[in-house]
């Protein structure tokens, strides 16, 4: 078996994953290829702007990718397709763009002038590679350079008692 690099494999399969996700109205947030206990795991985290990711979405992606990936990946692997989960930290700039308008939790490396807190809730307003993220914090727009951010994650609260069609009081 010839040598390969994880990066080469991911670069080869990412267009297939993007196209398959697009067919189902999904967005791949992260693709990782990891070796654990002498087994390879291909993990794909998907997101939908239209609805919460369902088991059916994960199954559709898995079935839609199966044979194509088998032809492109030169070794045995286990495929895991899932939603990013509520506690997942952003791992790419792409996520700042996708989740624009969402409530987020940001943890800073050091506090900033606009808040003494190193961890706070804010609304993600914008992302720009050169200036960082723009958030709404305490009814004020604040720009935070990326190098000051330790992590960002979604703060989409789930109301377990909410029934379909009901509004929050």
Q: Where are the domains of the chain?
A: 6-82, 93-154
- For the entire predicted model, the pTM comes to 0.75
If one looks up domain 93-154 in CATH, what number appears? Answer: 2.30.30.100
Is there a shared CATH topology between the 6-82 domain and the 93-154 domain?
Answer: no
Architecture (CATH level 2) of domain 6-82: 2-Layer Sandwich (3.30)
Cα 135–Cα 83–Cα 17 angle in degrees, nearest 5 = 100
SS (HEC) of 31-57: EEEEEECCEEEEEEEEECCCCCCCHHH
pLDDT in tens, the chain (169 residues): 457 789 999 999 999 999 999 999 999 999 999 999 999 999 999 999 888 899 999 999 999 998 899 999 999 999 999 998 778 899 888 899 999 999 999 999 988 888 888 999 999 999 998 999 999 998 999 999 999 999 999 886 643 333 444 444 3
Contact 63, 125 (CB under 8 A): no
């Amino acid at each position: 078996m010839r040598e390969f690099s994880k990066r080469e494999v991911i670069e080869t399969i990412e267009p297939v994953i993007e196209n398959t996700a697009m067919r189902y109205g999904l967005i791949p947030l992260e693709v990782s290829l990891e070796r654990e206990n002498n087994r390879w795991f291909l993990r794909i985290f998907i997101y939908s702007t239209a609805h919460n990711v369902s088991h059916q979405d994960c199954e559709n992606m898995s079935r839609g990718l199966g044979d194509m990936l088998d032809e492109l990946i030169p070794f045995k692997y286990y495929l895991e397709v899932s939603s990013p989960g509520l506690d997942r930290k952003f791992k790419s700039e792409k996520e700042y763009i996708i989740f624009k308008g969402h409530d987020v939790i940001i943890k800073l490396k050091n506090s900033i002038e606009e808040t003494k807190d190193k961890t706070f809730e804010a609304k993600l307003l914008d992302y720009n590679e050169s200036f960082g993220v723009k958030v709404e914090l305490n009814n004020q727009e604040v720009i935070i350079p990326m190098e000051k951010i330790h992590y960002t994650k979604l703060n989409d609260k789930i109301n377990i008692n909410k029934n379909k069609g009901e509004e929050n009081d």
